[in-house]
């Protein structure tokens, strides 16, 4: 059985037998809150065709994305080996399906299997690599480059889908910029024929143009994830 999630697909049947009884498929809606900072984590989420967004929230309520999680990994994996308390806000950015399991069940399965523990660490490392590269990108590169990088990664996670359902509000949070900046950058990319944007939906019209406009971070993240998880974890389609 193909699970359409790289973490689950990386496990063999014996390892999966410890998880199957607790796995259930859930439909997540856009903006659905999964966990908030300071709260205990109840479930692990393993996306198949949805995308999760992990946000750092300031005291004044402002927030910025630290990383996104798609079918290449999962949310709550590392917490199964350590503290079960969330230190960030996690919500569904692009609605879709995910496998869900109680955190405690994954913790017990990991205690019984060294291979599950190793898979958890590998996938957590891949997520942290993305977070580190994204932090550098948000500090050093222009908003246009960052938006292109982010759109390319989102398209990869949606299996190469031409339509990416994203609002300007979401994009401003993801990139840590004002909505006016998103409007200006998206308009410029639209004029070049790279994208078209209407009613919270972005159509990738010319992926090659997005890749040319993007910075080195998109390639660096892909290469790093491929090195840790294999090429099938990041390849679109």
Structural domains present in the chain: 6-137 (2.60.120.10), 142-214 (1.10.10.10)
- pLDDT tens-digit readout, 197-209: 887 788 899 999 9
Q: Beta 89-94 vs 33-35: how paired, if at all?
A: antiparallel
Residue pair 4/49 in contact (Cβ under 8 Å)? The answer is yes
Given pLDDT bands bounded at 50, 70 and 90, which one contains residue 236?
A: low
Cα 59 to chain centroid, rounded:
24
Q: Is the pLDDT of residue 237 over 50?
A: no
- pLDDT tens-digit readout, 60-107: 888 888 888 999 999 999 999 988 989 899 999 899 999 999 999 999
- pLDDT tens-digit readout, 21-67: 999 999 999 999 999 988 999 999 999 999 999 988 888 888 888 88
First to last CA, the chain: 18
Q: Which residues contact 92 (CB under 8 A, 6 or more apart)?
A: 28, 29, 30, 31, 32, 34, 50, 51, 52, 53
- Segment 154-178 mean pLDDT: 80
């Amino acid at each position: 059985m193909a699970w359409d999630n790289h973490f689950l697909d990386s496990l063999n049947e014996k390892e999966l037998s410890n998880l199957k009884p607790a796995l259930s498929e859930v439909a997540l809606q856009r903006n659905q809150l999964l966990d908030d900072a300071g709260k205990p984590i109840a479930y692990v989420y393993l996306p198949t065709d949805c995308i999760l967004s992990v946000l750092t929230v300031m005291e004044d309520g402002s927030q910025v994305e630290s990383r996104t999680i798609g079918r290449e990994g999962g949310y709550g994996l590392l917490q199964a080996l350590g503290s079960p308390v969330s230190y960030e806000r996690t919500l569904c950015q692009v609605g879709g399906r995910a496998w869900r399991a109680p955190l405690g069940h994954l913790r017990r399965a990991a205690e019984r299997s060294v291979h599950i523990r190793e898979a958890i660490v590998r996938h957590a490392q891949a997520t942290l690599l993305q977070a580190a590269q994204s932090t550098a990108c948000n500090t050093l590169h222009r908003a246009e480059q960052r938006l292109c990088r982010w759109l390319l990664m989102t398209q990869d996670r949606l299996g190469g889908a031409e339509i990416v359902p994203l609002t300007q509000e979401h994009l401003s949070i993801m990139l840590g910029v004002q909505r006016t900046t998103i409007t200006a950058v998206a308009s410029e990319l639209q004029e070049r024929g790279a994208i078209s944007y209407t009613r919270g939906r972005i159509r990738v019209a010319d992926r090659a143009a997005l890749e040319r406009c993007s910075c080195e971070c998109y390639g660096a993240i892909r290469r790093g994830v491929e090195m840790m998880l294999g090429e099938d974890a990041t390849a679109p389609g």
